[in-house]
Amino acid sequence: MLNMQYRDRMYLMTHPINKTYLRVDQLQDIANEEWSKLTDICPSLRKNISIDINFDSTLENTGTLAWNTHSMRLMNGALTSTRDDMTIGVNPHPANGWFYGENCTDISYRYDLRSVLRHEFLHGLGFASSIYKDNDLWTAGHSVWGSCYPTQFDTHIVDGGGNKVVHKCNLTENIQGKDVFINGVRLFNPDTYNPSSFSHHYHDGGLMYWKLRPMRCMNIREDEIKMLSALGVQCLSTESDQQSVALLLVPLVLSLFLPLL
């Protein structure tokens, strides 16, 4: 689930512009275009997968931009995205409407739909952690048929010494506020616990940072390529970011689908 920060939403609402409206068939076409671009960058991905994308009217006036669910399977003791399908729900009317053009210089006071879809695609490919903290206790994993399994993403998280931090559904050490990485990319792990901690990489401004900026278009960069590689997705190159005015950051929360084995 991808949310707008309240102050960002209020900022856009106090800078109204002519809204652009999308039909659901246009939304599907844009999703297909962006998936095709992703498979060009990462040829190990299938070009023809099931992307069920629709406007979710329940998101109107909530500040939520989009959400993703995807099926998973048990492989080598971990829950791994099948990469065969995903479902994406999109807010039909965010503040000032969606920007969805190819030239980011025209974005004005809006959020970029293509950036949001790229973010959700990567979640659907396995950028998803099950690590969480409850009553000051850290744990990991999802229950499947009475047994617990971590996600594939979890199994690649290491500390500064290169030691894996997840063993089965247990953390091997107290990781609160420590530097943790996947394939050399530092993950978001604040001193104060945040439920989105291991769903997005750390770097401010990256496509998979735990917050995204409005008024900016984001492409897949080298850090996302490195993380995809750890998950077994091989990619050839990255595109440089297109951006205009940088605004305040927007928090993200990942929503996972119940795994299908």
The CA–CA distances, whole Å, from 143 to 168, 199, 215 equal 12, 19, 40
pLDDT on residue 220: 94
Residue 251: per-residue pLDDT: 31
Per-residue pLDDT band for 250 (boundaries 50, 70, 90) equals very low
CA angle 13, 15, 21 (to 5 degrees): 65
Judging by beta carbons within 10 Å of its beta carbon (0-12, 13-18, 19+), is residue 242 exposed, middle or buried?
middle
Q: What is the pLDDT of residues 46-93, one digit of tens each?
A: 999 999 999 999 999 888 899 999 999 999 999 999 999 999 999 999
Between the two ends of the chain, the Cα-to-Cα distance in Å is 23
What pLDDT sits at residue 6? 80
CB atoms within 10 A of CB 17: 13
Residue ranges per domain, the chain?
Answer: 2-130+199-251
Q: pLDDT-derived band of residue 254, with 50, 70 and 90 as boundaries?
A: very low
Q: Which two tokens stand for residue 253?
A: 């929360």
Q: Other CB atoms closer than 10 Å to residue 183's CB: what's the count?
A: 14
Which pLDDT value is given to residue 197? Answer: 67
The 10s digit of each residue's pLDDT in 225-238 is 999 999 999 998 66
Closest C-alpha to 121, from 72, 59, 70, 157: 70
Closest to 231 measured CA to CA, from 161, 151, 175, 163? 151
For 162-184, write each residue's pLDDT tens digit. 999 999 999 998 888 899 999 99
Q: What is the mean pLDDT of residues 28-51?
A: 97
Name the phi and psi angles at 21, rounded to 5.
-115, 145
